Amino acid sequence: MSLAGRLYKLQQLDLELQERQQELSDVENKLSDRKALLSAETKLASQKEQLEDARKKQKSSEWELDDLQEKIRQVDGKLYGGRTKDPKELVNLEKEVKGLKSQIRAKEDSLLGSMSQVEQIESDVRATVEESEHLKREWAERQETLGPRKGELEIELAGLKAERSRLVQQIDSEAFNIYERIRLARGQAVVKVERGRCLGCHIAVPTSQWQKVKTGDLTQCNNCSRILYLE
């Protein structure tokens, strides 16, 4: 194979290496990406705390309501038990019952509010549990499919690297340095010549250079400096 041919082959290997490397880092990112799962778990923890608070609030409303109802039973007992005859006291007891009833209504309203809040948070918790289960399954599936792919890519990359270093040994260091320099500057270092034109910049290759390109020696385009290769 001519020098230009070897450089062209080297470029193909480098492109393939780049692609595989990119795929490997994508695979590795996907394998280690737990952001969605962690954020679902954080959300769940905070919803559970909210739920506990809301349940406590509900419980204490229930107790307060029980207390009020107990009080009203006692006052009713005094009112209708027949032991209290004093009209003034009876009026006071009736007032007390009225006041307690209005407190009970307010407490019942607040209890209903607490209960519906608890229900709402319970349903949020269920949704987040489901979301987090789904993300866990997805995570496990990803490990199952991408784990082996990562192994394959590592083997492919090792093979490509070995092939590249064998090829580099067959290229003299000066030509290799030129190749590396152009690749760094222009991305594509070796370009084909078709219908007499450099495919890098589409300028016609002068006849004087044409002969050299044909021999397969290292020839750079006068216009874009890329290494010319004739298949």
Binding region for Zn ion (CB under 5 A): 198, 200-201, 221, 223-224
Helix/strand/coil for 229: strand
Instruction: Please state the closest distance from residue 203 (CB atom) to Zn ion, in A.
Output: 6
Closest distance of CB 146 from Zn ion, Å:
41
Q: Tell me the closest approach of the beta carbon of residue 168 to Zn ion, in angstroms.
A: 24
Q: Which is nearer to Zn ion, 200 or 216 (CB)?
A: 200
DSSP 231: -
Query: Quick one: 93 or 227, whose CB is closer to Zn ion?
Result: 227
Residue showing tokens 């005094």:
78
Nearer to Zn ion, 135 or 190 (CB): 190
Residue carrying structure tokens 């406590």: 56
Give the nearest distance from C-beta 11 to Zn ion in angstroms: 15
**CB-nearer residue toward Zn ion: 72 or 189:** 189
Residue with Cβ nearer Zn ion (51 or 199): 199
Q: Is 70 exposed, middle or buried (0-12, 13-18, 19+ CB in 10 A)?
A: exposed
Min. distance of Cβ 196 from Zn ion in angstroms? 12
CA neighbor of 29 nearest in space, from 164, 112, 142: 142
Angle, in degrees to the nearest 10, between helices 3-32 and 173-186: 50
Other CB atoms within 10 Å distance of the CB of residue 198: 25
N-to-C CA span, the chain: 11
